[in-house]
Amino acid sequence: MGKPDTRARIQGAAAMLFRRHGYSATGLKRIAAEADAPFGSIYHFFPGGKQQLAEHMIRTSGTEYGRLVLALLDSVPDPAESLVHAFEAAADDLAAADYADACPIGTVALEVASSNEVLRIATAKVFEEWVGAATEWFGHWVTEPKTAQSLAYSMVMMLEGAFMLSRAARDPEPLRVAGRSMAELLRTAIARAGEN
């Protein structure tokens, strides 16, 4: 099997480097070297340079990551256990990557929220997409729309916060605790819905 085309290699290298090092610390020369691509090819595919490449990476990686989380949630029949499973998988993946590869959006979002409006909007749209998809997923178990949305926000916030704590501590336990906490939140919401 041949290596991916130049554009795909550039996108993959950029996603990995932005995720690990952030937007400011990642230069185009480093992306080109990591992608094994001529430097000029970045501008061929992304005439707007680093910002356009980062915006593209945020949108595509965000969508892919959202699908991955939903697939993990759908892989276990019990909804509370599926939350524990998804957070456990995230903890295992982060530890296996030596705490370098966390959420593809969170690293950039924290960095650009007050300094780059184009990228802030791109990250905000991804988070909105995730909350919408998670609200729909929780809606299978909790019929009250506001409760489903609240659970969705909680899941995204716990995941992002736990990634940050796990990376800083170099310990997967915050992700595992967050998964158990989300499972308990869902069980409580389902029990309350049953009482009503």
Q: Is the pLDDT of residue 152 over 70?
A: yes
- pLDDT one-digit tens code per residue, 100-150: 888 878 888 988 888 999 999 999 999 999 999 999 999 999 999 999 999
The C-alpha atoms of residue 39 and residue 58 are separated, in whole angstroms, by 21
Quickly list H helices, the chain.
6-21, 28-35, 39-45, 49-74, 79-96, 106-112, 117-138, 145-169, 173-195
The C-alpha atoms of residue 124 and residue 116 are separated, in whole angstroms, by 12
What is the predicted pLDDT for the residue at 84? 98
Q: Is the pLDDT of residue 3 over 70?
A: no
**Measured in whole angstroms, how far is the alpha carbon of residue 139 from the centre of its chain?**
21
Which tokens sit at 35? 């992608």
- pLDDT one-digit tens code per residue, 18-53: 988 889 899 999 999 999 999 999 999 999 999 999
